[in-house]
Structure 1
């Protein structure tokens, strides 16, 4: 049981699969955009602690990854460096696939393959396995109104929360996230259109409509390596807030372990009836970590399998 002393779990909560042995992986981190030999300031502590714990660290050019020049992005990664784990800024599945190919050409293999990354990063990849413990969801496969309306009708009447396959715009709650009534077709589409405008080139996949549930504002982020929950703590959006009700990750271990994903985060929120709900599953490589938990995360990544 995880309670108020949240952080690294000395005895990981194990799911259906064994942990991945990350003890000898090379950690790939974004370089500082202005000083390419140094890690990005946001990841400097992760780099320093990883080196202290004996992990090899290499820097990649995130701007080059985003622009599609993956070969240039990995120029500083040593050839033949063995298995690697990325910890950095958000990437699309397409960018990640090019990243994986460029590393493969240098005889470096990412612990998480592109299809595993897509399954964790995009909601349609993980929702079917976790539908029992997460809000009811429908989605479209493009940004057109016809697909949006099909998803809206499939979800039925009532309020819903809008997002795309990878991200919401919850900071624009009233204008681009919360739909009070799915049967108000024009009002619902107005919110979807505003969401599409705000997401711009970052829009991914299609519209996602999730049944609204009354949830506590503070979420819990849990970290899973090879099907084992190794770390739990506050969500980066509210790094000093935690619910008083304890979370027991073992309840969800078999469901999450059965996904067979090497390194993921799972975000939980407490519903008004006291039931924990999965709000998001994400690839751990591109999931932010509150600074206070950074040492716990790197220790967990460096720890050998039990």
Structure 2
């Protein structure tokens, strides 16, 4: 396995500071490390992005988030050098975008409806499909939870004007980063910080805090028996699943993401993280 991490923008032969601890841990574990130019990837110049990657082998990316199309171009550029990403472009999209994983995890995550555009007519159809009550708004890849009342929380799905005001503000804030379409998720009340679980080839490899709340450690003995067969059925090589306890005591899936672009909390050491990743990926 080879680990690919973003290059430091000021010292392009070195890993980006954010991912340097994982790069150092990988090298200490005997895993080859190469850097990629993240800025070139986002400028649609994937060939330039991978010029420092040695030819041949299987690679895992650990870096900043990429749009699905950018990841696909990244995969193709690496393939031209004989390097195969452990997560294919199709698998990345299915993990990175909610419609790719929702149906498999529907029993354990809030009920959702989505659009394929940013049009108000489509938004209203999804809103009515979801029904009554409150909802949380996002697009295929991200919410604006830090703008909760203005661009995320819809108190009443039956109020079309107020709901669209939230959607319009969401569109304004997401701007060119808006991905896929609107997603409306039925609002559920949660009583804990989120727990981030890391899954390799359908098996849970690590359980830790969410990167936003690294000191809120998960409870011991978290029961994942219901979730495990659902994740295995997704057939995705490396994902994270964020969980929180609902006010009735049931743990629910808040988000599934591709593990390559999910942030590691500081309370999981890079050495433990790379040991789990190295054990699960050939």
Counterpart for residue 38 of structure 1:
14
Counterpart for residue 245 of structure 2:
270
CA RMSD of aligned residues (A): 1.3
> Are 2:50 and 1:74 aligned?
yes
Q: Show the 5 A alignment for 1:1-306.
A: 25-80=1-56, 82-242=57-217, 244=219, 246-293=221-268, 294-303=270-279
- Report deviation, 1:292: 2.3
Contact 2:26 2:271 in 1 (8 A): no
- Aligned to 1:42, the other structure's residue is in SS state coil
CA distance in structure 2 between the partners assigned to 1:53 and 1:295 by the alignment: 8
CA distance in structure 2 between the partners assigned to 1:305 and 1:63 by the alignment: 27
- Report deviation, 1:295: 2.5
- Aligned to 1:303, the other structure's residue is in SS state helix
Contact 2:208 2:267 in 1 (8 A): no
CA distance in structure 1 between the partners assigned to 2:111 and 2:184 by the alignment: 8
Distance 1:202 1:242, change over 3 A: same
Moved more, 115-124 or 294-303: 294-303
Distance 1:74 1:243, change over 3 A: closer
CA distance in structure 1 between the partners assigned to 2:251 and 2:245 by the alignment: 5
| Aligned length in residues | 281
Deviation string, structure 1 residues 25-62 (Cα, Å, up to 9, x no partner)? 10000000110011000001000000000100000000
CA distance in structure 2 between the partners assigned to 1:180 and 1:247 by the alignment: 31
- Report deviation, 1:247: 1.9
TM-score (norm 2): 0.97
Deviation string, structure 1 residues 102-143 (Cα, Å, up to 9, x no partner)? 000000000000000000000000000000000000000011
Q: Which runs of 5+ in 1 are unaligned?
A: 1-24
